[in-house]
Structure 1
Amino acid sequence: MTSGEPARLNAAWLSEVLGATVTDVRWRPVGTGQMSGCFRGELTGDGVPARLVAKLPAADQATREMLKGIYRTEVRFYLDLASTVAVRTPACQYGMLTEDATDFVLLLEDLHPGAQGDQLAGCTAAEALDCVVNLAGLHGPRWCDPALLDLDWLHRTGPDDGDGVTDVLGPATEIFIDRFADRLAAEDKATLRDVAVHAGPWITARPERFALVHGDYRLDNIIFAAGGGAGVAAVDWQTLTVGLPARDLAYFLATGLTVADRRAHERDLVAAYHRALARHGVTGYSLEQCWDDYAFAFLQGPLITVLGCAYGAPTERGDEMFLAMAARSCAAIRDHGSLSKVP
């Protein structure tokens, strides 16, 4: 299996891996497919799902070599870790990863007719509540679990990451500021530059609390139930690491809510997340500690936003989204004095 096209996922192959008879399948691409291919398949047969989503590597071999680390992370999450946590995510029907991780296949539950969140538009406080409770289902079940540290394919944020983040984020921040010089507020430019200086020591701080961290838990990576019902699902697990759990929480609330909505609802939302952690067995972690970690962790927003913008392919919607995420995150950092908490 070397082709990045879904033609290899024909009815005979699907019948073999699903253990059921597939008589026909029709695939169509979904998403942009810059790092991997994503296809929705409509299946007919006996005892098979009506729809599946398939993820495959990029068609270009050089791109595969460059991205094999994130391919490995996502496949291994679905095969090895998803069943050990309570976060809602598409069920994996089949997963394959070659030894060198340059080729893979994931067959995932199609969450249709659920709808992808809209990072630019933001979400309501009620929608955010579902998202943070779901997030606790990722963090809580493996909270400070030492077995996570034994997984050689899963990166843990550690002392060696600080210099690397500093070296990369400084130039990327200047690229970001130059690109949007006329569209960024002066105070946001200043905050972004301060984040670039502090991000190295920030990312290595507070190692005593760790869990699985999605890394890019935001609205574009969340599927909402049809009709506004409860129950969201997280997708895109390529950025999974082990680190301070509050990084996901702060990143989501800072970038997914308007500044006014975050200020109005964040106390209640953090408290709801904390209660959900307790339901998953987390003890010895007070609401005060949770709030302090949350206030500390807002640097995740500019970190992901700036790097994603500086090194990703530009689009009109992407530019608007990155600007909104940067402005919202910078406001949260100033509101909470996050930079003053960095050692």
Structure 2
Amino acid sequence: MTLELALPHGPADITASWLSNILGVQIQDALVTPIGTGQTGATYRAQLSFGRAAPASPRTVVVKLPSQDDAVRERVALGYRAEHAFYRDVAHTLAVPVPTVYHCAIDRDGADFVLVMDDLAPAEQGDQIAGCDPELARVAVEALAGLHGPRWCDPAWLDFPAASMPRGGSDFARGMGEFARLAAETTIEKLGAQLNAEDRDTVREAAELIETWLLAEPDRFCLLHGDYRLDNLLINAADKAVTVVDWQTLSIGLPARDLSYFLTTSLQPDQRREHERRLVTHYHTALLGHGVRDYSETECWTDYRLGTLQVPLITTLGLAFTAGTDRGDDMMLAMLRRGCRALREHDTFSLVRGLIHD
């Protein structure tokens, strides 16, 4: 991951010679094909040919580059910097399942970026719109505990430069509150009748409370994935295992925000109501296994209720300020509807308002 090699700008630069230097073997040919939708990055599969003497080396690798649209590339450079910092500085200190990375490099303050990693096929990307069953959710929340638990409340996170949402003070929270209100109104206007009146009210009320919410429970914090959802998991059905990808939205904050975001958007509402308490308990038990102490199951459940505001915050920012696609917009709408329902059922707004009076 520290080789001094030129960074490929596009797929034509992912050559057999370049990959030979990365993997330390002689590659005869590399067939490069695009995978994924490429909204904020461009991802390719490289099928490798070694000639007669094939070494004990991967036959395919995945190569992730910045968006091939220069305007998008510049706009999301912070995300590339976050992913580079995660794999270079952080991943090895945690227990969250991530791909094997052969090379990760960055240049020009994030405008150029490359990540070469293990191809996990036949593992498949989760389907956010369809959702998942409780068994898969259990695996995913255990993996999430591997992100949060090993460095729970590590003070080093407070100075982590790659977080797009650092744990900030009142000025940061106030600015995010204003941004959230703008995102909420833009989203409501964009979705129109697709969002019913009850959900529109929920979105607006959530935005009004973001400032207070961001300052809640300052003594509990860790690194957050920030967008921990099914589409960012590669699922191996045979092994009942998940691998977590897309580390471009790192944040520092209340750990249960990731947990709430995943469960309330990935389970259908009836299944969530039936299984979420047990799943939160499983997450809490897994945290204890990673050495977390002085954190009760009751506190974890309250944090889970509190964390549900992560759903309208992230989905409205996505709908309001990123280029949409038909599937992407449908996915965000499904997540927003599920999240709004969970907010009401958990009476999260009353919980947040109680923080104002404490």
In the superposition, the TM-score normalised over structure 1's length comes to: 0.95
1:133 paired with 2:138, answer no
The answer for the alignment partner of 1:314 in structure 2 is 324
Quick one: which amino acid aligns to residue 263 of structure 2?
A: L
The answer for the alignment partner of 2:337 in structure 1 is 327
CA drift at 1:114: 0.5
Q: Determine the C-alpha separation between the residues in 1 that align with 2:71 and 2:193.
A: 36
Instruction: Give the alignment partner of residue 296 of structure 1, picking from 299, 306, 318.
Output: 306
Distance 1:312 1:293, change over 3 A: same
Quick one: which amino acid aligns to residue 38 of structure 2?
A: G
The answer for the alignment partner of 1:245 in structure 2 is 255
Matches within 5 A, 1:202-221: 202-221=213-232
Cα offsets for 1:73-130 (capped at 9, x unmatched) = 0011011111111111111111111152211111011110001111110100111000
Q: How many residues align?
A: 342
1:179 paired with 2:181, answer no
Instruction: Give the alignment partner of residue 95 of structure 2, picking from 86, 110, 124.
Output: 86
Q: Determine the C-alpha separation between the residues in 2 that align with 1:35 and 1:180.
A: 22
1:193 paired with 2:204, answer yes
Computed over aligned residues only, the root mean square deviation of the Cα atoms, in angstroms, reads 1.5
Instruction: Give the alignment partner of residue 36 of structure 2, picking from 16, 24, 31.
Output: 31
Quick one: which amino acid aligns to residue 17 of structure 1?
A: I
Aligned residues of 2:7 and 2:114 also touching (Cα < 8 A): no
CA drift at 1:301: 0.4
* Displacement over 4 Å in runs of 4+: none
Cα offsets for 1:307-337 (capped at 9, x unmatched) = 1111222333223222211111011111111
The answer for the alignment partner of 1:224 in structure 2 is 235
Q: Determine the C-alpha separation between the residues in 2 that align with 1:183 and 1:98.
A: 42
Matches within 5 A, 1:95-174: 95-98=104-107, 100-155=109-164, 156-159=166-169, 160-174=171-185
Quick one: which amino acid aligns to residue 90 of structure 2?
A: L
CA drift at 1:3: 5.2
Identity %: 47
Q: Determine the C-alpha separation between the residues in 1 that align with 2:22 and 2:191.
A: 48
Cα offsets for 1:157-190 (capped at 9, x unmatched) = 2123212222222122122222222222221111
Cα offsets for 1:203-260 (capped at 9, x unmatched) = 2221211111000000111111034x32111110000122111000000001001111
Q: Determine the C-alpha separation between the residues in 1 that align with 2:322 and 2:128.
A: 16
Quick one: which amino acid aligns to residue 89 of structure 2?
A: D
Matches within 5 A, 1:5-16: 5-16=10-21
The answer for the alignment partner of 2:78 in structure 1 is 69
Q: SS where residue 99 of structure 2 aligns? A: coil
Quick one: which amino acid aligns to residue 31 of structure 2?
A: R
Aligned residues of 1:20 and 1:47 also touching (Cα < 8 A): no
1:234 paired with 2:234, answer no
Instruction: Give the alignment partner of residue 20 of structure 1, picking from 17, 21, 25.
Output: 25
CA drift at 1:44: 2.1
Q: Structure 1: which 5+ residue stretches go unaligned?
A: none
CA drift at 1:65: 2.8
Quick one: which amino acid aligns to residue 95 of structure 1?
A: C
Distance 1:34 1:324, change over 3 A: closer
CA drift at 1:20: 1.6
Q: SS where residue 28 of structure 1 aligns? A: strand
1:43 paired with 2:44, answer no
Q: SS where residue 247 of structure 2 aligns? A: coil
